[in-house]
Structure 1
Amino acid sequence: MFQKFKQKAPLLYFILSRIVTMIFLLFFLGFALFGLMELAPGDIVDQMMTQQLMASAQSGPNSSGATSGKENNFDEELLAKTREELGLDKPFYVQYFKWLKRVIVNHDLGVSLISRAPVSFLLKSRIMNTIVLNLISLVFITIFSFILGVYFSSKAGTRLDVGVTFFALFFHAFPGILLLILMQLAASITGLFPVTAYPDFPASAAPVKFTFSYIHHIFLPLFCSFLGGVGGTMRTIRATMLDQMGMPYIFALRARGISERRVYLNHAFRNTLNPYITGSANLLASLFGGSLIMEIIFAYPGVGRLTYEAVLQQDINLVLANSMFLSALVLAGMVISDILLAFVDPRIRYGADK
């Protein structure tokens, strides 16, 4: 049955197979995350105990003039009961399958072990911020990479091409975290841009003002993301264009008297889409990975910063939900890139018999 379906609809079979593969990858990723969190020293109950001890120490002696020893001596039975209530007394694989059952059957991501707020609510409040930021980065990197890559492929070997290639390599190899810190330091010294990446008032208060303020706040993080991503993508498109311009079909088109503009844009340019679409999934993954550092440095309220805070607090429900969301986005981007590649290049027939 599967073989007949594969022969009749190879592209649909490929899409469904990739979706199934993505589901299995997410399953094993969640299992690995639970295992890694189990290896971390201590747990969230220990952190609660530490925070309570610090609060008790800061409050000073009580009204009677002496602090009761019982207040600072945590009952082991109470700690064990707290772990049992949170489900932390079970092995990590039991916790994972209980969480997975709750997600699949009840469509419930659980509650944050620290704030006791629903994980879905915390995630929804940050999802759009992260998606919007990374999509804007992807669009700008794509547009400028194609424009610069195609243009400088026609200027190969010139001083301008050598200079731009040098700076593209420089910023591509420059550590992203250091670039973000330097940009934030420059913003602090000059005062031209905010040191945070998000306005200090909600969008509902003044939508138009919020839009312009948001653009002003995210300019520096976007600029850092652009500098880090455009170099490698531009060089890939430039190299592909140079490779295509040396192909026999290009000489044949020129011999037929077709203008150089049409040769570049109508023929050679179309063949640069394949390597870009293939690499766009990796670019998207690097953007989402880099946004974690950016959100921490620039105090941007996104999923990456929420994940970082959850890891520090060992809030396993929040860590797992955020990580699975980001991983699902990256895997979905890879599936979409493969589907687009099949539509762009008619020579590709996934699963079709040759």
Structure 2
Amino acid sequence: MLLKKLKQKSPLIYFICSRIVTMVFLLFFLGFALFGLMELAPGDIVDQMMTQQIMASAEGGPKAGSLAQGQENIFDDAQLAKTREELGLDKPFYVQYFRWLKRVIVDHDLGVSLISRAPVSFLLGSRLMNTLILNLISLVFITLFSFILGVYFSSKAGTRLDVGATFFALFFHAFPGILLLILLQLFASITGLFPVTAYPDFPYSEAPLKFTFSYMHHIFLPLFCSFLGGVGGTMRTIRATMLDQMGMPYIFALRARGISEKRVFLNHAFRNTINPYITGSANLLASLFGGSLILEIIFAYPGVGRLTYEAVLQQDINLVLANSMFLSALVLAGMLISDILLAFVDPRIRYGAEK
């Protein structure tokens, strides 16, 4: 009864609440699936720790031989089992997951990294801002240039310029992003015009102004790659929407009333290109966050994607789960925001309203 009244009085609020509930269930099943997939991986973090200690002792100098011969005594089954029990790895994966979930919900604690023993919240917070800044800058540039180029080339439809722009848009949209990143890094290495890493080698607190300019110089090539990969598809969507709108009956009616072509083009047809972009922006944001994983690995950028990759290699389940869940929550929140914006931009959309 209460939900029905809320749906009648505030359809948008009801829609937001229902989407949030859906997001919670999606995150729950995502975390469950991640735990299950990590369980299927060969070995566990105890094996990783054992391997690291063996390698460290093997590189320790003259005593390496005797240490290597005594590893079987050091890492016996009883000690390994005790270590797994201390870390909670002796339980089935679903028991581990519900323990982690209880700790997060009740104690608001993401746990500690099983490798570094540092709090997961600290590791995530130290990398999160870098990833957000990189992807938000990419989103702003892709949005700005997609609208400018999409609107401009829609006015040049059928010309050689439009055909050439469409060809290059399709080419870079289909070009493998990982290959483009490697080629750009080779370009930076050969020419020396740009750094081969995407982050300055000194902290922001040391020299804020110098760090800002150095940061812009370091991330230029990764941003350029992200821009080329994202602007092609978005520009083509806006161009196609503009051409579709220019053939609508209301456009002929506006022209018949003597309204200038510039006003028809920008004030009326252009406004109707916003809806498809808002709908596709959530997918664009998801692709940016997904692509930043490869970008951060190749250009050694200290972001959440690279942190997640290192955690997966080390099978640090607490770190993997926290990073993956947080990025997934950001993508789901972006989709929710795009749906809400549609209701404000287009008065015809009424979420949850009775028909």
Q: Which moved more, 1:67-76 or 1:332-341?
A: 67-76
Distance, in Å, in 2 between the alignment partners of 1:330 and 1:318 is: 19
Segments ≥4 residues shifted beyond 6 Å: none
Say whether the 8 Å CA contact 1:146–1:234 is kept in structure 2: yes
Say whether the 8 Å CA contact 2:58–2:67 is kept in structure 1: no
1:188 aligns to 2:198 (yes or no): no
Say whether the 8 Å CA contact 1:53–1:72 is kept in structure 2: no
Aligned length: 353
1:232 aligns to 2:233 (yes or no): yes
Q: Which moved more, 1:339-348 or 1:46-55?
A: 46-55
- 1:281 to partner: Cα distance: 0.2
- Structure 1 residues 335 and 350, CA, compared in 2 at 3 Å: closer, same or farther? same
2:143 corresponds in structure 1 to 142
2:292 corresponds in structure 1 to 291
- 1:59 to partner: Cα distance: 2.6
Distance, in Å, in 1 between the alignment partners of 2:67 and 2:272 is: 76
- 1:71 to partner: Cα distance: 3.9
Residue aligned with 1:59, SS? coil
- 1:256 to partner: Cα distance: 0.3
Say whether the 8 Å CA contact 1:145–1:233 is kept in structure 2: yes
Say whether the 8 Å CA contact 2:35–2:93 is kept in structure 1: yes
Distance, in Å, in 2 between the alignment partners of 1:239 and 1:294 is: 30
Q: How does 1:329-340 map to 2 (within 5 A)?
A: 329-340=330-341
- Structure 1 residues 92 and 257, CA, compared in 2 at 3 Å: closer, same or farther? same
Distance, in Å, in 1 between the alignment partners of 2:71 and 2:51 is: 13
Say whether the 8 Å CA contact 2:254–2:264 is kept in structure 1: yes
2:93 corresponds in structure 1 to 92
Distance, in Å, in 2 between the alignment partners of 1:196 and 1:46 is: 31
Q: How does 1:29-48 map to 2 (within 5 A)?
A: 29-48=30-49
1:174 corresponds in structure 2 to 175
Distance, in Å, in 2 between the alignment partners of 1:290 and 1:67 is: 43
Distance, in Å, in 2 between the alignment partners of 1:60 and 1:342 is: 68
Say whether the 8 Å CA contact 1:198–1:301 is kept in structure 2: yes
2:55 corresponds in structure 1 to 54
Identical aligned residues as a percent: 88
Q: Which moved more, 1:287-296 or 1:6-15?
A: 6-15
Distance, in Å, in 2 between the alignment partners of 1:86 and 1:228 is: 42
1:270 corresponds in structure 2 to 271
Q: Deviations over 1:315-347 (max 9, x none)?
A: 000000000111011000000000001111111
1:260 aligns to 2:256 (yes or no): no
- Structure 1 residues 67 and 212, CA, compared in 2 at 3 Å: closer, same or farther? closer
1:10 corresponds in structure 2 to 11
Say whether the 8 Å CA contact 1:61–1:67 is kept in structure 2: no
- TM-score norm. by structure 2 comes to 0.97
Q: Deviations over 1:15-58 (max 9, x none)?
A: 11111111111111001000000000000001111122222222
Distance, in Å, in 2 between the alignment partners of 1:60 and 1:304 is: 36
1:212 corresponds in structure 2 to 213
Distance, in Å, in 2 between the alignment partners of 1:289 and 1:275 is: 21
Distance, in Å, in 2 between the alignment partners of 1:58 and 1:134 is: 40
Q: Which moved more, 1:301-310 or 1:41-50?
A: 41-50
Distance, in Å, in 2 between the alignment partners of 1:204 and 1:251 is: 59
2:223 corresponds in structure 1 to 222
- 1:140 to partner: Cα distance: 0.3
1:120 corresponds in structure 2 to 121
Residue aligned with 2:165, SS? helix
Task: Give structure 1 stretches of 5+ with no counterpart.
Answer: none
- 1:111 to partner: Cα distance: 0.2
- Structure 1 residues 228 and 53, CA, compared in 2 at 3 Å: closer, same or farther? same
- 1:67 to partner: Cα distance: 4.8
- TM-score norm. by structure 1 comes to 0.98
Q: Which moved more, 1:203-212 or 1:68-77?
A: 68-77
Distance, in Å, in 1 between the alignment partners of 2:63 and 2:169 is: 64
- Structure 1 residues 7 and 160, CA, compared in 2 at 3 Å: closer, same or farther? same
Distance, in Å, in 1 between the alignment partners of 2:248 and 2:189 is: 51
- 1:61 to partner: Cα distance: 4.8
Say whether the 8 Å CA contact 2:57–2:67 is kept in structure 1: no
1:163 aligns to 2:201 (yes or no): no
Say whether the 8 Å CA contact 2:57–2:68 is kept in structure 1: no
Q: Which moved more, 1:66-75 or 1:105-114?
A: 66-75
- 1:7 to partner: Cα distance: 1.2
2:201 corresponds in structure 1 to 200
